[in-house]
Every structure is written in C-alpha cells, then in structure tokens.
Amino acid sequence: MKALVVFYSLEGHTKFIASVIAKELKCDLLELQPEKEIPKTGFKKFFWGGKSAIFKEKPSLKNKIPDLEQYDTIFLGTPIWAGTYAPPINTFISDNEIKQKNIAFFACHSGGGAKKCFGRLQDFLKDNNIVGSIDFIDPKSDDEEKKSEIKNWLNDIIMTKLN
C-alpha cells in the first residue's frame, strides 16, 4: 500500500488526527492551505467559513499537489463546516482526478456528527473504493485514548479492506 494523508484544518484538531495516521502508516502527509485563510476566531470565523461551505466555494490553494497516480490509498480529513466538508477539500476533490483508489474519511466536529459529510464525499468520489470513516469531537492532541482508537481503526482497514 502507498498511502497519502490529505487534510485541511483551521484550528488543529483534524491536523492532530492526520499526523497520528501519517506517523502510524509512515506515509506522506499533505496539509491543504488556502491562499487566503479565513479569520481563526470569533463570529467572523463562523460567518465566512459557514458561507464558504454552504456556497460550495473552491478556494485557491497554496499547495503544489503531488502526482496522485503514485498512491493507491488516500486518507481524506476535514473539519465539519455547516454540516459538510471544508472548502479546501472541495478544491482538492474537484481539481484532481481521483479514481480507483482506496479512500478513508476522517473528520472533526463539535458534536454535530459527520454522517452527512461522509455521504457527500462518498457520492462525489463514487469511482473509488471507500474503505472506512471515523470522526471525533474536537479531539485534544494529548489524548492517548484517541490515538489508540485511530490505530485500531487503521489496523482494521489494513487487515480487512486493503488485502
């Protein structure tokens, strides 16, 4: 398996999960960074971020996206914004041809769940093999329990879905 972890994170929660996955799998990590980041605090954060998610915006990214041909498995991580994936993820899945890969989703939210988001991603990425999904409520980076939950999830995917 050659895997890539792709994620966006405004406030660090999704970044924590992404780095645990990449460390565990010893695989490449790609943090999507919009050219213009939204404010990180207060009402403005929810206003601009929420609007951008609701209107399915595709913000330009600073990143140079690697050739995805070299990966057979992608872990795709996002915070939940207005019930769905964050706009930089929309840019990534819209601007790159993602087909015939194993894909697993991970998401962080404040309690609203990730079901709708995962359903939308699954619809968008229908030419792929979806191998798993997991979500967390605002995980803290020193949470050892979360780390072992992620490791168990990865083991389960590797043992049952990728062989």
Give per-residue burial for 15-35: e unless 16+ CB within 10 Å, then b: bbbbbbbbeebebebbbbebe
Mark 56-95 with x for binding to ligand FMN (rule: CB under 6 A) and - for no binding. Answer: -----------------------xxxxx------------
**Close Cβ partners of 148 (under 8 Å, ≥ 6 residues apart):** none
Query: Which residue is closest to ligand FMN by CB?
Result: 49
> Whole-number minimum distance, CB 47 to ligand FMN, in Å?
8
Q: Which residues pair with 4 in a beta bridge?
A: 28, 74
Mark 9-48 with x for binding to ligand FMN (rule: CB under 6 A) and - for no binding. Answer: xxxxxxx-----------------------------xx--
Site residue total, ligand FMN (CB under 6 A): 22
Tell me the window of 3-11, 27-35, 65-73, 120-128 that interacts with ligand FMN (CB under 6 A): 3-11
> Whole-number minimum distance, CB 67 to ligand FMN, in Å?
26
Residues 107-146 that bind ligand FMN (CB under 6 A): 108-112, 138
* Chain CA centroid to CA 78, Å: 4
Best CA proximity match to 8, nearest among 26, 35, 27: 35
Distance in angstroms (rounded) separating the CA atoms of residues 58 and 123: 18
Q: For residues 1 and 137, which CB has a smaller minimum distance to ligand FMN in the complex?
A: 137
Q: Which residues in the chain belong to E strands, given as ranges?
A: 3-7, 28-31, 73-81, 84-85, 102-109, 129-137
> Whole-number minimum distance, CB 115 to ligand FMN, in Å?
11
Best CA proximity match to 162, nearest among 27, 29, 31, 66: 27
- Can you give the binding site for ligand FMN, defined by CB under 6 A? 9-15, 45-46, 49-50, 79-83, 108-112, 138
